[in-house]
């Protein structure tokens, strides 16, 4: 008895139109990665478990998909371990490999393994799927693509500048005008921690501050007090509640707040250089915004922190993010390699483009030309014509059988074919072909010999 097939929850089939749309985004990202000097690498879908486990915290370890050892996997489990019947004890005995959870740890592993072949600074990009055993929900999947560009081996702030330009270039070409690139620096956050005298409360502080626009100063302060931040600390940090103006102006306000914090002032100096250079070079359609509440990956980033939000009016979380990290490769024994990277959120960008109707119409088209099949002799002439069209890069095919005209035309309609070619008995006799433009219904006759005249119209 045949099964009724299904796919695992959190995974997706992609139809031709969906693949075309995803590739449209990927190709634009890829193109800009490459003109910015990044080169592609690819790493295996699964890694040795010890490469991945312990790198993402306990929650991360839990969400990593583990691969069962092949063959008689249970025979290698000793009796003591087996009798415990504990998943945690059994796991390392029956599984040695795991699906990658992100592209960053495999990249660090790659850099360390191939350090002698690599010319630093190494600018790599990687666009591959990752897997997480997360609870599936809208926009969150168990298999999804990450699109990452990273530079390792350079602590120049030009990298920060270029990555901001890169975001701008990609989102401009995707016609996502009005995207906002939010910028912060880990050192600013450290400076604030010094100022408010409570490093361990910094996350609570930034989370509360982030709500300023929505709930107002009073409620933000209440939340801070609730979280245990002292009134004195809140008072000291009060300039943060009144930040206004563009990035340069905000920076000036930060300067007085963080005047006594060495690390804070270092962060300001970095931000200042980045913001000045970006201003000098100009952005095409995105705006750069200083956001002192931006704290993604707080324990991971050591310098710049980026996050991109879609144009206003689209309710979607961040569509990209990244930052500078020191010592990424340290976990695999290669010390003192500074890195910086950004990521594009393919699935979210897809949803935004869909919502805003920004996918080009041509992506819906399956083929350019369908030749109606009128029988053996006629279809041979069609096949010859189709061969010429294909040589010119035109997507063309002959309907495979001499089915009823209506059926063939319906197929052309369903597949959104813009041009239908007819070579019937009469056309064959006259060595010509008729092209029907499906959108208008217009028909035009060309000689088979001069098929180039039709190609020129495409």
Q: Which of 36, 316, 327, 358 binds a copy of itself (CB under 8 A)?
A: 36
Cα–Cα distance, 76 to 165 (Å, whole number): 53
Position among 26, 56, 60, 67 found at the interface with a copy of itself (CB under 8 A): 67
Comparing CB distances to a copy of itself, the nearer of 227 and 416 is 416
Regarding 228 and contact with a copy of itself (CB under 8 A), the answer is no
Query: Distance between CA atoms of 106 and 302, rounded to whole angstroms?
Result: 20
As a dihedral over the C-alpha atoms of residue 244, residue 245, residue 246, residue 250, rounded to 10 degrees, the angle is -50
CB of 275 to a copy of itself, least distance (A): 14
Stretch that binds a copy of itself, among 79-87, 201-209, 215-223, 225-233 (CB under 8 A): 79-87
d(CA 20, CA 360): 10
Regarding 34 and contact with a copy of itself (CB under 8 A), the answer is yes
301 labelled as ligand-binding?
Answer: yes
Closest by CA to 177, choosing from 282, 314, 279, 286, is: 286
On whether the CB atoms of residues 394 and 455 are closer than 8 A, the answer is: yes
**Any bridge partners for residue 435, and if so which?**
421, 444
Tokens matching residue 80: 């003591």
CA 263 to CA 26: how far, in whole Å?
38
In terms of CB distance, is 235 or 336 closer to a copy of itself? Answer: 336
Residues contacting 138, CB < 8 A, separation 6+:
none
CB proximity list for 47: less than 8 A, separation 6 or greater: 97, 98, 100, 105, 106, 109
Q: Contact between 73 and a copy of itself (CB under 8 A)?
A: yes
Is the CB of 212 or the CB of 394 nearer to a copy of itself? 394
Nearest of 176, 142, 113 to residue 318 by alpha carbon: 176
Count of residues near a copy of itself by CB under 8 A: 108
Q: Which is nearer to a copy of itself, 407 or 426 (CB)?
A: 407
Applying CB under 8 A, among 158, 177, 215, 458 the residue interacting with a copy of itself is 158
Site map 363..392 versus a copy of itself, x via CB under 8 A:
---xx-----------xx--xx--x-xx--
Residue 124 assigned to a binding site: no
- Say if residues 361 and 367 touch (Cβ distance below 8 Å): no
Give per-residue burial for 189-203: e unless 16+ CB within 10 Å, then b: bbbbbbbbebeebbe
125 known ligand binder: no
Comparison of 256 and 414: residue with beta carbon closer to a copy of itself: 414
396 binds a copy of itself (CB under 8 A): yes
Ranges within 304-363 binding a copy of itself (CB under 8 A): 330-333
Q: Does 103 bind a copy of itself (CB under 8 A)?
A: no
324 is in an annotated binding site: no
Residues in the annotated binding site:
102-104, 132, 146, 150, 296, 300-301
Q: Could you tell me which residues are annotated as the binding site for L-histidine? A: 102-104, 132, 146, 150, 296, 300-301
């Amino acid at each position: 008895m045949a099964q009724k097939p299904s796919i695992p929850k959190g995974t997706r089939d992609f139809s031709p139109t969906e693949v075309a749309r995803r590739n449209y985004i990927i190709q634009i990202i890829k193109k800009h990665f490459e003109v910015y000097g990044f080169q592609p690498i690819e790493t295996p879908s699964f890694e040795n478990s010890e490469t991945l486990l312990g790198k993402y915290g306990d929650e991360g370890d839990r969400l990593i998909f583990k691969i069962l050892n092949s063959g008689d996997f249970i025979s290698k489990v000793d009796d003591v371990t087996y009798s415990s019947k504990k998943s945690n004890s059994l796991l390392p005995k029956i599984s040695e490999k795991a699906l990658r959870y992100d592209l960053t740890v495999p990249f660090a592993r790659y850099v360390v393994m191939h350090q002698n072949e690599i010319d630093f600074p190494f600018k790599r990009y990687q666009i591959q799927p990752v897997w997480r055993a997360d609870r599936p929900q809208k926009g969150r999947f168990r298999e999804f693509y990450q699109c990452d560009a990273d530079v390792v081996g350079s602590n120049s702030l030009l990298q920060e500048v270029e990555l901001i330009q890169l975001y701008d270039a990609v989102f401009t070409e995707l016609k996502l005008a009005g995207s906002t690139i939010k910028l912060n620096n880990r050192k600013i956050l450290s400076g604030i921690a010094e100022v408010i005298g409570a490093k361990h409360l910094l996350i609570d502080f930034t989370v509360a501050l982030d709500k300023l626009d929505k709930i107002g100063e009073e409620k933000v302060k209440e939340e801070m007090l609730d979280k245990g931040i002292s009134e004195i600390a809140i008072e000291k940090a009060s300039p943060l509640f009144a930040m206004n103006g563009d990035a340069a102006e905000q920076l000036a306000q930060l300067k007085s707040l963080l005047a006594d914090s060495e690390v804070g002032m270092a962060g300001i100096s970095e931000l200042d250089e980045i913001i000045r250079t970006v201003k000098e070079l100009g952005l095409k359609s995105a705006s750069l915004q200083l956001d002192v509440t931006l704290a993604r990956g707080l324990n991971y980033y050591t310098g710049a922190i980026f996050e991109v939000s879609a144009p206003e009016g689209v309710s979607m979380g961040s569509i990209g993010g990244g930052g500078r990290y020191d010592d990424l490769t340290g976990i695999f024994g290669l010390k003192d390699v500074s890195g910086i990277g950004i990521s594009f959120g393919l699935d979210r960008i897809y949803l935004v483009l869909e919502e805003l109707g920004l996918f080009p119409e041509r992506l819906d088209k399956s083929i350019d030309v369908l030749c109606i099949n009128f029988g053996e002799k006629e279809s041979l002439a069609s096949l010859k014509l189709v061969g010429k069209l294909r040589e010119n890069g035109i997507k063309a095919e002959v309907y495979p059988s001499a089915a009823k005209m209506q059926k063939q035309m319906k197929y052309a309609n369903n597949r959104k074919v813009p041009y239908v070619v007819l070579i019937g008995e009469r056309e064959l006799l006259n060595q010509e072909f008729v092209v029907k433009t499906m959108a208008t219904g217009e028909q035009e006759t060309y000689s088979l010999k001069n098929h180039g005249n039709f190609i020129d119209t495409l």
